[in-house]
């Protein structure tokens, strides 16, 4: 399933690259590519769901994690993403690629659920390093397991498997995921990493 989807995506992207300007055809092709990319991610997520990873800690810079997540977001979604980080963020001893993948899924969940603007921020606190993804303020705490999606969806075909995988993988790294939802689709999701993941600190 993964190989045929990859081949189909490559073929459509090749057509897109050689497309003579035509607003109607461009719109259809772009729509088809967006849906195909989502389908590929969902299939990849289903495969990954059956094989939990084994985290491999390494030294990672917080700023690089944030920027890598942003670069891995599709260009059409990236323009709606705002990234912020506190100054002098410490290095983390964490599985960087796995953390990036988990955070990317949370950000995509927010953007594809219909949020106009999404803030992706990180800060250090007494409890550890927090990565927050929000489309507005929030007031009600939710368990991500309670619903199909973490973010209120404006699309009937939106699914939340990515958020489920992000929660599982972050827990494997000693972290946790919390979701808060308020009125009007206002949602905040944050991933908390324990303080000992910061370089120079030890587990209690």
Strand partners, 199: none
For residue 165 the two structure tokens come to 């995988």
pLDDT digits (tens, 9 = 90+) for 114-131: 667 888 999 888 888 999
Mean pLDDT of 64-87: 87
Question: What is the reported pLDDT for 9?
Answer: 64
Residue 65 to residue 89: CA distance in whole angstroms: 11
Could you give the CA distance from residue 93 to residue 107 in angstroms, rounded to a whole number? 22
pLDDT of residue 142: 47
Residue 59 dihedral angles phi and psi, to the nearest 5°: -75, 130
Average pLDDT over residues 157-180: 80
Distance set, CA 119 to CA 8, 79, 108, 126 (Å): 32, 11, 12, 22
The DSSP line for 113-157 is: TT-S-EEEEEEEETTEEEEEEESS---EEE-GGGSS-SSPPS-TT
Q: From CA 165, how far away is CA 110, in angstroms rounded?
A: 15
Q: Between these two residues, 108 and 162, which has the higher pLDDT value?
A: 108
Give me the residues paired with residue 59 across strands. Answer: 93
In CATH terms, 58-197 corresponds, of 1.10.10.10, 3.40.640.10, 3.90.1150.10, 3.30.565.10, to 3.30.565.10
95 vs 135, more confident: 95
Can you give the pLDDT at residue 143?
47
Higher model confidence: residue 54 or residue 39?
Answer: 54
Kindly list the domain boundaries of the chain, sorted by start residue: 2-49, 58-197
Give residue for tokens 């088809």.
Answer: 32
At 165 the pLDDT is: 86
What pLDDT is attached to residue 1?
56
Distance CA 103, CA 100 (A): 5
């Amino acid at each position: 399933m993964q190989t045929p989807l990859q081949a189909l995506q490559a073929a459509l992207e090749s057509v897109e690259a050689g497309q003579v300007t035509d607003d109607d055809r461009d719109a259809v092709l772009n729509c088809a590519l967006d849906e195909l990319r989502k389908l590929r991610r969902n299939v990849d997520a289903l495969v990954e769901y059956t094989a939990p990873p084994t985290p491999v800690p390494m030294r990672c810079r917080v700023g690089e994690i944030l920027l890598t997540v942003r670069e891995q977001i599709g260009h059409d979604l990236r323009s709606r993403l705002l990234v912020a980080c506190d100054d002098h963020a410490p290095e983390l001893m964490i599985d960087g690629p796995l953390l990036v993948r988990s955070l990317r899924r949370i950000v995509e969940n927010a953007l594809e659920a219909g949020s106009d603007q999404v803030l992706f921020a990180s800060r250090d606190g007494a409890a550890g390093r927090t990565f927050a993804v929000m489309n507005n303020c929030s007031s009600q705490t939710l368990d991500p397991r309670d619903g199909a999606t973490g973010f209120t969806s404006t699309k009937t075909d939106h699914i939340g498997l990515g958020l489920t995988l992000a929660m599982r993988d972050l827990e494997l790294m000693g972290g946790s995921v919390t979701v808060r939802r308020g009125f009007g689709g206002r949602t905040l999701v944050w991933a908390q990493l324990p303080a000992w993941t910061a370089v120079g600190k030890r587990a209690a």
